[in-house]
Structure 1
Amino acid sequence: MAITGPTITELNLIAKSLCMDLSDSDLELHLSLLQPNLAAYELIDSLPDNVPFVTHPRTSGYEPDLEQNELNAWHRKVSIKGEKSGLLAGYKVVLKDNIFLAGVPMNNGASTLQGYIPEYDATVVSRILNAGGEIVGKAHCEYFCLSGGSHTNSKHSVKNPYNPLHSSGGSSSGCGALVGAGEVEMAIGCDQGGSIRIPASWSGCVGMKPTWGLVPYSGIMPIENTIDNAGPITNNVENNAKLLQAIAGHDGLDPRQYRQGVDDYLTSLKSNINDLKIGILTDGFNRPESEEDVDKAVLDAIQVLSKLGASIDEVSTPWHNIGQSIWLAVALEGLTDQMMLGNGMGRGWKGLHSTSLIDRHSSWRMRANELPNNLKSCLLTGQYMLEKYNGHFYAKAQNLSRRLTDEYDKLLSHFDILIMPTTPMKATPIPTADDDEALHVQRAFEMIGNTSPFDTTGHPALSIPCGIRNGLPVGMMLVGNHFDEATLYRAAQAYEQSTDWKAV
């Protein structure tokens, strides 16, 4: 793009926005001083961007009609075949629609981003293809991924595969619905407040939010760097471990990553659980929003683990119920600053940036009235707190997140796993046009009390189905030490192999 310098009037407006009062002579001076700086920008503009090459051939695919998309879970269908052999050979994988897939339109659930086409693949995409997997499409997600319900996508609600009048869970709503319905075996979701685990819980899938930084987020539209996570949603534990094995590990492009090694998750599935110590986190049960049958289903599932040899005891920390408030300050001020005011990428971090996303997403300001009320509420809160308190509470929440992490680590020094319901309630009804707008917003956030604290602390957390109540799945969440996904898989596999969750 051509670089144009500011006029005197534009420079004066910029100065005033920076609380500077410049005289006409000052403005003339600074206008001349800007010229060498602008020349540097012109040089940057003349150079090719340094982004990954696209290696596997593909077409842009197509948007399926209603007959092929009864749950409104598909954003786009494609067929991008990977290598002929590898860990994922023969598997079909769908991607949440905030993940870059070169040449294929990406909406991230939003009307304001419609028409955007990424020019390179996310690291997780390259790794799936290199491992022999086939990318078969993009799944609908919630508007900029800001809902735990499945009713905020700009192209209508995503339906629960067990009851189409209920939510599939968000924000990886299409991923949960497609895996839960058996249309695909594997999906990649993203999780900043529970967005892998909530759809796994409500749609009857296995969903892993890995340790923060284990899976590279490069080439995925961020919300807030310190809580961004990508991970697998699958039809069973083994496939979940297999997909995580393929996508995990350092890529040199994501500053969220701070550990190079990757464990052998598949070998861990073969071990018994006789040596495991499991803590029932009582603070995750009997919450104000809890449903009694959900709590009971999880407690019954824990007894199965006990019969399989794990030792069980109850534990508690008041910090668990403080965790959602800590998460909220980080998430709301962070997303306002990075995802919205920062045009998707923000600043202050090294790694793989997308200039095309910045250019396209910045236009949200001209169409802000189209944003759903749950997102407007987040933005209004975040902007108010940033302007009124200058980021004070974001900073304090980040400090408190270390204390929250320590509190969970104290428990995990005595237990291998903490267990609680993934979501305190089963899938809620999808709100309709006749429902009060306050209910629409409530349906976006009411389920995140147990999931969101672990996005702040970075602990791995896995949701596994443990029963059906009133025709809807119930999810049990296993939380472990940082980078100890293998132990979570070991316990989940033992439970899955010993129980038909649809019959209990």
Structure 2
Amino acid sequence: MTIPAPTHQDMLAISERLGLGITEEQSKIYAEVVAKSITTYGPVAEISAEDTPLRPAGGSREHTVPTAEDNRHNAWFVRSSITEKSTGPLAGRTVVVKDSIPVAGLPMIAGSNLFEGYVPDFDAEVVRRVLEAGGTVSGKAHCEYLCFSGASHTNVTGPIRNPWGDGYSTGGSSSGSAALVALGEADMSLGADQAGSIRMPSSFCGIVGLKPTTGLVPYTGIPSLDAEFDHVGPMTADVADNALLLSVLAGPDGIDPRQHGVEPSDYQGALDQGVKGLRIGVLKEGFEVPGTQRAVAERVRAAADVLARLGATVHEVSVPQHRLGLDIWSTIGWTGMTETALRHNGIGIYRDDHYPVSLMEWAHRHGSAIDQAPPSVKLFFVISEYVTKHIGYAGYGRGVNAARVLRGKYDEILKDVDLLLMPTTPMTALPLPDPSSGIEDELRTSHPMAFNTAPFDITHHPALTLPCGPGDNDMPVGLMLVGRHYKEATVYRAAKAYEDTGEGAFRP
């Protein structure tokens, strides 16, 4: 790699931008020293090429772009049929991959114009695990623009429409992943969750989605929004398949720096244990968030009653700070996501990680096209830049510190109960915004569904959503179960017991 030698004008421009006060005379000296210093990047690039934990594609990776007729909900980005093994726990099962997760040889746009034309030359670690387990990668699913929205209308190709209501949101940002499983066009899917992006679309589409404990599933090779809350996990039609896919995905890879001491459990073995003896806390504040629909609250409380009849001890608990969970997330997310997207090439820095430099180089070369981002994405940038101008990064720091306090509040309650129970989203699927209504409607409908989901991304607890029947508009209602760190098996116990009753089955 070659970086051109700087001129003294380059030095003056940098000085002005950073407020360094370098003079005209000094700039010439700086230019000479910088020119010599940057020669180090060449040999370092040669050495770094030897670090190849992300496996390149083996053999052909053919794909097709579906026609509009074959993609009525705009959930597919590309279709494929990649199988590397005929045996394994996922043999014969199709897995669609969220289009923010690299699959070697398949194009990836991450819902945006920035990555148009980019084709990864590596598989993310979770994709490698699916293929090693005998699964078939059946394609890439559309997601929201750079995964910034909780709705399903910001993808550069147009909105992803809900399978159960054509004019309704699928939820986001793993929009297509949820829709394709709900439609039966894929057995399973891989989603990513930073503020609820697995659970919100799963709730809106009536499927099962798990945000695992932070670090349980390696994030290696996947573009980041912020390492404080990046998660990747399974989205499936039922609880058993969710546990199966997690059993394939979970466990350390020796690279993701958040995985120290991670030990997977027997998730499938927990499915038949029932709920007798489990203590479930119905989180009071989870039913009081803005926008809560009465029918949603009633459905979720009815699910709690079912679990009580099955033998669980169920009672109301309170964590008043839950009301501030989304606010805490926001002070982290606004700045963290802005820094990653605008300055850190979609990956982030400051971690002892493997960096997919081909993706980072693409993001750097095409980053100027961010001016075409939708208003809800630009809003993050505007808030972050304004706040940073006035208080620097102290707001981000306070957010992370506050998240640790919030985590302690949940942990205190989770000493006395095994699970927390609440609505996944306070409402059922929202109508898609009218494109002619301007930016106000687009901003208003992008994030109100994250009040209950976002807090557990920053406190790192496992959280699963499953359907618990229809709401007033005959759209799915999501029930969320939250467990102690690394206790996904307990979450699956309760979810499977409830699912087996048939009480929550969503029948459009």
Same fold (TM over 0.5): yes
SS in 2 for 1:103: coil
Of 453, 456, 468, the residue aligned with 2:455 is: 453
Query: 1:8 matched to which residue of 2?
Result: 8
Query: 2:66 matched to which residue of 1?
Result: 64
After TM superposition, the structure 1 = structure 2 runs for residues 371-410 of structure 1, keeping only pairs within 5 Å, are 371-410=373-412
Query: 2:130 matched to which residue of 1?
Result: 128
Once the two structures are superposed, residues 361-390 of structure 1 have per-residue CA deviations (whole angstroms, 9 ceiling, x without a partner) of 224542233100000111110121122211
SS in 2 for 1:194: coil
After TM superposition, the structure 1 = structure 2 runs for residues 109-188 of structure 1, keeping only pairs within 5 Å, are 109-188=111-190
SS in 1 for 2:214: coil
Q: CA deviation at 1:32?
A: 3.2
SS in 2 for 1:465: strand
Distance, in Å, in 1 between the alignment partners of 2:340 and 2:277 is: 44
Q: CA deviation at 1:503?
A: 6.3
The AA in structure 1 aligned to 2:329 is W
Query: 2:322 matched to which residue of 1?
Result: 320
After TM superposition, the structure 1 = structure 2 runs for residues 39-54 of structure 1, keeping only pairs within 5 Å, are 39-47=39-47, 49=49, 50-51=51-52, 52-54=54-56
SS in 2 for 1:66: coil
Of 477, 481, 485, the residue aligned with 2:484 is: 481
Distance, in Å, in 2 between the alignment partners of 1:163 and 1:264 is: 37
Query: 1:501 matched to which residue of 2?
Result: 504
Q: CA deviation at 1:257?
A: 2.0
The AA in structure 1 aligned to 2:495 is A
The AA in structure 2 aligned to 1:437 is I
Distance, in Å, in 1 between the alignment partners of 2:170 and 2:18 is: 46
Once the two structures are superposed, residues 153-185 of structure 1 have per-residue CA deviations (whole angstroms, 9 ceiling, x without a partner) of 110100111111111110000001001111111
Q: CA contact under 8 A between 1:255 and 1:350: conserved in structure 2? A: yes
The AA in structure 1 aligned to 2:175 is S
Once the two structures are superposed, residues 82-116 of structure 1 have per-residue CA deviations (whole angstroms, 9 ceiling, x without a partner) of 31211111110000000010111100000122111
Distance, in Å, in 1 between the alignment partners of 2:159 and 2:273 is: 41
Q: CA deviation at 1:494?
A: 0.4
Query: 1:303 matched to which residue of 2?
Result: 305
Q: CA contact under 8 A between 1:211 and 1:460: conserved in structure 2? A: yes
Distance, in Å, in 2 between the alignment partners of 1:405 and 1:260 is: 19
Q: CA deviation at 1:286?
A: 3.4
Distance, in Å, in 2 between the alignment partners of 1:503 and 1:184 is: 18
The AA in structure 1 aligned to 2:5 is G
The AA in structure 1 aligned to 2:486 is F
Distance, in Å, in 2 between the alignment partners of 1:376 and 1:27 is: 35
Q: CA contact under 8 A between 1:193 and 1:448: conserved in structure 2? A: yes
The AA in structure 2 aligned to 1:125 is V
1:227 and 2:221 aligned: no
Q: CA contact under 8 A between 1:458 and 1:482: conserved in structure 2? A: yes
SS in 2 for 1:501: coil
5+ residue gaps in structure 2?
A: none
Once the two structures are superposed, residues 183-237 of structure 1 have per-residue CA deviations (whole angstroms, 9 ceiling, x without a partner) of 1110000000000000110001000000011111111111011110000000000
Q: CA contact under 8 A between 2:6 and 2:35: conserved in structure 1? A: no
Q: CA deviation at 1:454?
A: 0.4
Change (3 A) 1:3 1:288: closer
The AA in structure 2 aligned to 1:19 is G
Change (3 A) 1:398 1:346: same
Query: 1:27 matched to which residue of 2?
Result: 27
Distance, in Å, in 1 between the alignment partners of 2:84 and 2:367 is: 38
Q: CA contact under 8 A between 1:196 and 1:209: conserved in structure 2? A: yes
After TM superposition, the structure 1 = structure 2 runs for residues 460-475 of structure 1, keeping only pairs within 5 Å, are 460-469=462-471, 470-475=473-478
Q: CA contact under 8 A between 1:200 and 1:206: conserved in structure 2? A: yes
Q: CA contact under 8 A between 1:268 and 1:487: conserved in structure 2? A: yes
Query: 2:337 matched to which residue of 1?
Result: 335
Query: 1:214 matched to which residue of 2?
Result: 216
Moved more, 129-138 or 27-36: 27-36
Q: CA contact under 8 A between 1:97 and 1:139: conserved in structure 2? A: yes
Once the two structures are superposed, residues 258-309 of structure 1 have per-residue CA deviations (whole angstroms, 9 ceiling, x without a partner) of 3331111000112121110000001011333010000001111111111110
SS in 2 for 1:298: helix
Q: CA contact under 8 A between 1:86 and 1:130: conserved in structure 2? A: yes
Query: 1:38 matched to which residue of 2?
Result: 38
The AA in structure 1 aligned to 2:390 is K
5+ residue gaps in structure 1?
A: none
With the length of structure 2 as denominator, give the TM-score of the two structures: 0.96
| Count of residues in correspondence between the two structures | 504
Q: CA contact under 8 A between 1:58 and 1:79: conserved in structure 2? A: no
Q: CA deviation at 1:40?
A: 1.3
Say what the alpha-carbon RMSD is for the aligned residues: 1.5
Q: CA deviation at 1:147?
A: 0.8
Once the two structures are superposed, residues 384-431 of structure 1 have per-residue CA deviations (whole angstroms, 9 ceiling, x without a partner) of 112221111100111111100000001100000000000000000111
Query: 2:254 matched to which residue of 1?
Result: 252
